[in-house]
Structure 1
Amino acid sequence: MFDFDPLFELEPVSVESIGFTEMARLPLGELMAADWAEALGGVEAELRAVLDFLAAETASGHQVLPTPSNVLRAFRQPLAEVKVLIVGQDPYPTPGHAVGLSFCVDPRTRPIPRSLANIYRELEADLGIPARVHGDLSAWADQGVLLLNRVMSVRAGAAGSHRGKGWEKITTAAVTAVANRRTADGGRPPLVAVLWGKDADTVRQLLSGTAVVSSAHPSPLSASRGFFGSRPFSRVNELLKEQSCAGVTWELPQVP
């Protein structure tokens, strides 16, 4: 069954195991948090088409990452709780790495990907927080950090292979939903968006009125061109404080 974190209190899927074909036919409310299901209702047909595409990939013998139980993991975090949006590109293409949250990997992955190692390096330079040997960022997600990949799946061993397959419309709707939330009195709930690299910057136009922290991507190919020294973690917390919101505790557990 789905390995849902009980934190999100979703109804369990009533099957022992599930693939992309079955996911494409389940109600959205069984695939994600209730408020996300409502927010993404306008792109439900597109989401089902993407899931059918993933089922076809699997049927053709290709390994799709992350697994069906994790491909929509970012949407299990209630939309109402999001206060930081970090936009990634697409999942890590190495089998066993991708877990459905951008930049995050399975806790057992060693060594961690180089982009994540650079994120840890900047975290230490910014806030003095030592790097962890693991790459489990779920403690950030638990605090309302939405770790959203622009494209939410990939063929194993082929980075970028699922671009242009429909995910972009879905994640555009997701970012729009986050940015357009309103409180009961019509105000904006606290939100800071973190845009690392050109792919992430494509959603900037959707974030009118949202505080944005942007820089080069933490990839080894670009980190030295503006990511290192950008101090994103302290800047996010400063911007949240300006919105009368508690900052994120960026220090991760030593053992996930």
Structure 2
Amino acid sequence: MNNEQPALFDAPEPTAPPAYSTEDFPFFFGAKSLASRGFIAADWVSTLEPLDGVLQEIARKLAARSQAGEQILPAPEVMLRALSLPVAEIKVLIMGQDPYPTPGQANGLAFAAAKNVRPLPRSLRNIYKELFVDLGVPEAGHPDLGAWHEQGVMLLNQVLSVTASNAGSHQKLGWAPVIEAIIATLNARKVPVVAVLWGAHAQKLGTLMNNMPQLRSAHPSPLSASRGFFGSKHFSQINRRLAEIGQAPIEWKLPAG
């Protein structure tokens, strides 16, 4: 028996683009099915269940694009990976834009990638640079942010899918109601969630987070990081905000690759 099978969220991207059907997208079968099969935490069901029809329509659109020859990223089973973190355990929400469009990179968590991806995505490299300046945490040498996720840092993109080599290609696919419902659930939490909004796209969602402490700066992409992301010291600020509401700080140092 092979005991060294890769974990669900570490599964490598296939070398040849698959042609997906609607049934290949776990969310096609609804929120209760997602939770029972371990794709999302159980306390997200009440948020997503009213959107089962929306998710089914997204699955149909993605399947049609895939059948027409588009390579859809990331793999269907990790598109909702951010929701594998229970609502009750979330301390911090870091908003991204959409998944990395380079095949083999996107793994369902904003700004993150599979541990073996090289070179590091450029936005993430800038995040690591700011983390070092802010807290003296050295660059991990890999792009796997799973350890942050496990501590309660929700790494959520505004769009959960993309066509390979075509950034932003799914912005009008229909993900907006899903993301807005997720944010509404977090905004209703009795213990506030610290929201980190990097860039104008993320900051447009700030009006949905009136009960959440917000940290804002430029996006960490190479095009904008020097306009306010560098020097923002958001990582130390996050931990200060968490302390103010009685939450344990995040250990930002990642395990070595």
Question: Structure 1 length as normaliser, TM-score?
Answer: 0.89
Is 2:160 aligned against 1:158?
no
Counterpart residue number, 2:105: 97
For residue 76 of structure 2, give the secondary structure of its aligned residue in structure 1.
Answer: coil
Counterpart residue number, 1:26: 29
Counterpart residue number, 1:54: 62
How many residues are aligned here? 237
Looking at structure 2, the residues matched to 238 and 101 of structure 1 have their Cα atoms a distance apart, in angstroms, of: 24
Residues 20 and 117 (structure 1), Cα distance of their counterparts in 2 relative to 1, 3 Å cut = farther
Counterpart residue number, 2:219: 217
CA offsets 1:3-37 (integer angstroms, 9 cap, x no match): 546xxxxxxxxxxxx95511354231332221112
Looking at structure 2, the residues matched to 241 and 222 of structure 1 have their Cα atoms a distance apart, in angstroms, of: 30
Counterpart residue number, 2:16: none
For residue 69 of structure 1, give the secondary structure of its aligned residue in structure 2.
Answer: helix
The letter of the residue matching 2:30 is P
The letter of the residue matching 1:46 is V
Is 2:44 aligned against 1:36?
yes
Counterpart residue number, 1:84: 92
Identity of aligned residues (%): 47
Is 2:113 aligned against 1:110?
no
The letter of the residue matching 2:210 is S
Shift of the alpha carbon at 1:47? 1.5
- Stretch deviating more after TM superposition (193-202 or 38-47): 38-47
Shift of the alpha carbon at 1:154? 0.2
Residues 20 and 167 (structure 1), Cα distance of their counterparts in 2 relative to 1, 3 Å cut = farther
| Gap runs ≥5 in structure 1 | 6-17, 182-187
1:129-144 to structure 2, matched below 5 A, reads 129-144=137-152
| Gap runs ≥5 in structure 2 | 1-5, 10-18, 35-39
Looking at structure 2, the residues matched to 46 and 180 of structure 1 have their Cα atoms a distance apart, in angstroms, of: 22
Shift of the alpha carbon at 1:64? 0.4
Is 2:181 aligned against 1:179?
no
Shift of the alpha carbon at 1:209? 2.1
Counterpart residue number, 2:240: 238
Conserved in 2, the CA contact under 8 Å of 1:126 and 1:233? yes
Residues 28 and 191 (structure 1), Cα distance of their counterparts in 2 relative to 1, 3 Å cut = same
The letter of the residue matching 1:196 is W
Structure number with the higher helix fraction is 2
Is 2:195 aligned against 1:193?
yes
The letter of the residue matching 2:219 is H
For residue 159 of structure 1, give the secondary structure of its aligned residue in structure 2.
Answer: coil
Looking at structure 2, the residues matched to 25 and 50 of structure 1 have their Cα atoms a distance apart, in angstroms, of: 8
CA offsets 1:193-226 (integer angstroms, 9 cap, x no match): 0000011111100111211111000000000000
Looking at structure 1, the residues matched to 83 and 27 of structure 2 have their Cα atoms a distance apart, in angstroms, of: 15
Shift of the alpha carbon at 1:169? 1.4
Conserved in 1, the CA contact under 8 Å of 2:192 and 2:213? no
Residues 127 and 150 (structure 1), Cα distance of their counterparts in 2 relative to 1, 3 Å cut = same
Counterpart residue number, 1:148: 156
The letter of the residue matching 2:211 is G
Conserved in 2, the CA contact under 8 Å of 1:3 and 1:69? no
CA offsets 1:222-253 (integer angstroms, 9 cap, x no match): 00000000001000000000001101011000
Counterpart residue number, 1:15: none
Conserved in 1, the CA contact under 8 Å of 2:194 and 2:214? yes
The structure 2 residue matched to 1:123, chosen from 131, 136, 160, is 131
Is 2:79 aligned against 1:71?
yes
